[in-house]
Structure 1
């Protein structure tokens, strides 16, 4: 009975610890603290070296939980990445995920050797442990801060943080093997890396296709679609690892394949993965925190701070600027990508590998990685939004996000029902505007279900349900945000929306669900005006962009600096001077 009681107490303490972590996330969100930092500190305070006094030294359990959590995080990241986005930034992201990790390792290694007094192979291992960015930390901070980054910058950060883990893990495992047994040449290691990557890609692609086929062809009981996808992702991960392929690359590609095809229960799968990845992250972070002893961290604290500063201020910027040199990125974009290379659970997870294999001075790697992660989250994590504003990388967005309800329709995959509450100041209520691919199907008013014809004009407080393609549903959010109108609204403008001339066509397409050619996603509105007009832009000039029209509200030096969005049926300029200019331009184009 004593053994049963100890198990019950362990379950009670563990669940209470996770529950405290979940509730503490509310405080973290309020004060802008990265959640990873909160969970790590909570685990450290609850551990044997903290006031909690809980004894936990099972590195194997922490490694297993960490592997499962990272596999789910990577699968979820792939599931949310559009294939068009992936293709557009594949080359720079792969450069950062491979050459960037290697450059970071090589730059950090001499610093680690000098300040920690370790050998060259150990220093290289230290560099590899902290070289990769953390997908969970990057995704959370960007979303929690409400940042709507330039599409190309956001895509590079997402794809890089989702794909650099496999190379960093391979490099760390290689160096651990060389330190423990020796005898492996770098040429053999390179061949092994290529083999593991290729085999991982094959397994990931095949696994994603199998998951999609089962979802769409086999009638699983209601509620089992999401658990099936999550467990299948772990099967792909473990199967690839069992064949000595890259399981992390395989599970990310499997998520990419599933997320870019029409599948049943897509919304329920996404919601379930949100919940399970949150839980997995919390458990992993708390366990890693339990392994850290505060008094032991002090032994290498100064050296760890030097390594962290070298990583943030020297190694990461060098790697980013060198890897992105062949591509057309502005220096501000490169600087922001350098600064948002947050370190997180991946670094601490890799640092637990020397502990798992009982390497000499193994705790040095764990303690240094722990301090590096803490400093990265404290310094970089809290300054992400500040850096985005100062470097002009993000666009303004409403603080309030529309709450969307998604319902799958059995028997088909092309449409789903998307529901919203209609706020009094929403663009939809002010304009009645909705994209052509979204079709209202019913309205709920005063707990009564009405057809669109029965409901008539939509009123504030109604609930509107629309048919829309699943891949475009998120674009509807912007029309149901509670956004107060300006003091002097222009009735010709679309929801009184204004965007800067530096905004890209891809950014507008993301918000309004427009169709923009792939080679035009990075074209700014100012450049687009010049291309369409064939001359210097002037105030009140109008150019068409799909179902909306762009109005030049302010110009400076012949460049449009502020753009207003018009309804398609109000394409005509607001002034007679503007109308005359448009007619003149058409005549000039016609008669050459």
Structure 2
């Protein structure tokens, strides 16, 4: 009984300490996952905590559970739109890219540590994949808003590349134990078939089970608190079931999360919030255990060589693999450099490093130590500099509004719309724009407005006020836009090419080639020439052929800002209302328009 109490006290204390340390670390820009890992080391055998922990089996078990939860949660937050625009390059990075990284890093390990070729390839395989947990959390925690294809490629790659790393690790462990088989057409076919089944089997099982979970969620009449438990049980069942039949549980959990998260169901918001907290808990537990597992004194003999291998992986192995894999897909040099830099290593390499130890492979302790050193260097160097690299390469977009408070009522219409209640946030777009000018449509209609507990007639209101409760009937694909309307606007300082400060109120990312339909929703009347033009041609003409990030043109009451461009071609445009005169002084209004006139005619 005393042991159980001590264990609960210790575990809860470490988790609370991790949370408070995370608050402090966020203020100095330290990667949060590195903090969790460091706390585990401090609590371990060589640290002040002095806890002796060397249970690899328990670590492997806890790591499997945590990764299943994290990947399912990552799938919940991956939109099908991202899948469509980045599936091919992401799959290439997740397969060929991982293989190339493993081979290059393996040869470096052979040279640095005087190992056999098989041992070198095993080390390369262990550290070859990017870590889903590290990529998902660091990109979101640092509030980085990247160009869409870059962001989608990074998230999809990290969610899909674990099967390749697991397959290579298990293959080389088997070769080290049983010897290399006699190569024949049949043996090569068996290996290729095994890998194909890892990917395809996991993907098919994840898709089917994710759809089945969706049907069950919509048809079962459960207490609201049971729906997230149903999703969690299903995620773990899908992961373990795929592993049992020889497919990739990592792939199955991620794909099931994608299917479930991109479909409307009665517990959508409840499930997302539950898994958000659960993924945090999984991260903390996993990194604390991995920190406890290592004994820092055992890293000292291979520390310098391990750092050299980590730098080779970061500066040579990963970039070469990325440049070769992304070459056919038209990524710019800056995009390829950033994708190379975000090859974050986290829990997965350490998790895979336990496999040789559990299998009893010779030099297994060396493999585990090297994986640990590489993760520490990756989180320290890449994780700490992620935001600065994105800004220096001009790939980071202005931030979007924070998500507002909203509640979803379990009433689903035949057209697929839902009833959502928004609480209008201070400093939101909704408080600074006339209601009749807001981009509502037949897919997002106001049902009612409640102000100070009183039902208000929408027709008599000019503006929403902070604290208003706005009841909307919204189509699923319009919820993101509504979130931006009612969420608090971030404080932005974004400098244009003329060194003037751009202070825009709301950004909508435009991916299509034509902007006419979108602008018509704002009540603009366009000429025939403008109506048929692409967004690139229209803005380039207005800017007299000179296109730079930060250029602004004004069309009626709409401001268009160039957010990114590839050479002289515009790829992303921000759209926002020019604030009404009542929100700015006449002097500022006049200066803004004079500046726009000068830019359009004399730049």
Using structure 2 for the length normalisation, give the TM-score.
Answer: 0.82
Report 1:265-344 matches (<5 A).
265-344=267-346
- Tell me the distance in 1 between the aligned counterparts of 2:514 and 2:428: 18
Shift of the 438–376 alpha-carbon distance from structure 1 to 2, 3 Å rule, reads: same
**Structure 1 equivalent of residue 2 of structure 2:** 5
Which of residues 387, 403, 426 is equivalent to 2:428?
426
Residues 295-304 or 469-478, more deviating: 469-478
Does the CA contact (< 8 Å) of 1:550 and 1:563 recur in 2? Answer: no
**Equivalent of residue 145 in structure 1, options 117, 142, 147:** 142
C-alpha separation between the residues in 1 aligned to 2:447 and 2:363? 65
Choose which of 37, 57, 60 in structure 2 pairs with 1:60.
57
Q: Corresponding residue for 2:408?
A: 407
Residue 32 of structure 1 deviates from its aligned partner by 1.9
Check the 8 A contact 1:200/1:245 in 2, yes or no. Answer: yes
| Cα distance between partner residues in 1 of 2:200 and 2:43 | 42
Is 1:435 aligned to 2:432, yes or no? no
Q: Which runs of 5+ in 2 are unaligned?
A: 494-501, 522-532, 545-550, 581-592
Residue number in structure 2 paired with 1:45: 42
When residues 354 and 391 of structure 1 are mapped into structure 2, their CA distance, relative to the original with a 3 A threshold, is same
Hey, what's the Cα distance between the residues in 2 that align with 1:167 and 1:107? Answer: 15
* Aligned equivalents of 1:552, 1:562: Cα separation in 2: 9
Contact 2:46–2:297, Cα closer than 8 Å, also in 1: yes
Question: Size of the alignment, in residue pairs?
Answer: 545
Are the equivalent residues in 1 in contact too, given 2:552–2:562 (CA < 8 A)? yes
1:336 deviation in Å?
0.5
Q: Find the counterpart in structure 2 of residue 132 from structure 1.
A: 129
Q: Does 1:28 align with 2:25?
A: yes
Q: 1:378 to 1:211 in 2, by over 3 A?
A: same
Task: Name structure 1 gaps, 5 residues minimum.
Answer: 488-493, 516-526, 582-592
1:46-65: CA deviation from partner (whole Å, max 9, x where unpaired):
11221101121111111011
Counterpart residue number, 1:73: 70
**How far apart are the structure 2 equivalents of 1:274 and 1:540?**
37
Q: CA deviation at 1:265?
A: 0.7
Structure 1, residues 86-128: CA drift from partner, whole Å, max 9, x if none? 1221110010000000100111112111222221111111111
Q: 1:258 to 1:499 in 2, by over 3 A?
A: closer
Q: Deviations over 1:27-50 (max 9, x none)?
A: 222222222101111111111221
1:122-159 per-position Cα deviation (integer Å, ceiling 9, x unaligned): 11111111111111111222112221100000000010
1:262 alignment partner, SS class? coil
Write out per-residue CA displacement over residues 481-518 of structure 1, whole angstroms, 9 at most, x where no aligned residue.
Answer: 4449999xxxxxx9954879xx7536999xx9999xxx
Q: Kindly indicate whether the alpha-carbon contact (under 8 Å) linking 1:25 and 1:35 is maintained by their aligned counterparts in 2.
A: yes
Aligned-partner Cα distance in 1 for 2:45–2:372: 16
Does the aligned pair in 1 maintain the 2:403–2:483 contact within 8 Å? yes
**Inter-partner Cα distance in structure 2 for 1:372 and 1:506:** 41
Is 1:476 the counterpart of 2:482? The answer is yes
User: In the alignment, is residue 157 of structure 1 matched against residue 159 of structure 2?
Assistant: no
Contact 1:485 1:496 in 2 (8 A): no
Q: Report the counterpart of residue 350 of structure 1 in structure 2.
A: 352
Alpha-carbon spacing, 1:168–1:559, altered in 2? closer, same or farther (3 Å): closer
Q: Flag the 1:357–1:564 CA change in 2: closer, same or farther, 3 A.
A: closer
Partner of 1:18: 15
**CA positional deviation for 1:439:** 2.5
Q: Hey, what does 1:243 align to over in structure 2?
A: 245
- Residues 536 and 559 in structure 1, CA contact (< 8 A), matched pair in contact too: no
